[in-house]
Copies of this chain bind each other. A is one copy, B any other.
């Protein structure tokens, strides 16, 4: 469960965690049936209040993405894949769209946008392959 948290960002920490979980499922890093870290373990790892993680697990359970088996832990639901893929695709789409909107509003011309993309693609590629 490798989730990046930006505690100071305006998007709520709980949303960031939920999205992180959905992404992990969408990308297949975590599979239906896998056991998630306990509330406390994940909270410790993310340096976050356990209540926040508990809320995320509760919300995702309501969406049928997670299932809690009392006494044994929290698991990825058997039908978690499709909604997570859908959600993450939408999120990525929206992020890209947002980036372009900002680039345009900031007055970047086509060339500057292309340069920026190329540069970031290289970064992204490099990062993708060296990821643990």
Known: A105-B20, A107-B27. A95 touches B91 (CB 8 A): no
A41 at the interface (CB under 8 A from B): no
In the complex this chain forms, how many copies of it are found?
A: 4
Contact across chains for A92 and B97 when beta carbons are under 8 A apart: no
Question: Counting chain B CB atoms within 10 Å of each CB, which of A11, A71, A100, A126 scores highest?
Answer: A100
Q: Is A12 an interface residue (CB 8 A)?
A: yes
Q: Is the CB of A100 within 8 A of B129?
A: no
Given contacts A62-B62, A100-B123, A100-B124, A23 and B105 within 8 Å (CB-CB): yes
Asked if residues B88 and A106 are in contact (CB atoms below 8 Å), the reply is yes
Known: A24-B105, A95-B103, A117-B129. 10 other contacts (CB 8 A): A23-B105, A28-B107, A62-B62, A92-B108, A93-B116, A95-B95, A101-B124, A114-B127, A117-B117, A121-B132
Q: List 26 A-B contacts (CB under 8 A).
A: A4-B105, A10-B15, A23-B102, A23-B107, A24-B105, A26-B107, A29-B107, A49-B71, A88-B106, A89-B106, A91-B102, A92-B102, A92-B106, A93-B120, A95-B99, A95-B103, A99-B99, A103-B124, A104-B124, A104-B127, A104-B128, A110-B128, A113-B127, A117-B117, A117-B129, A121-B132
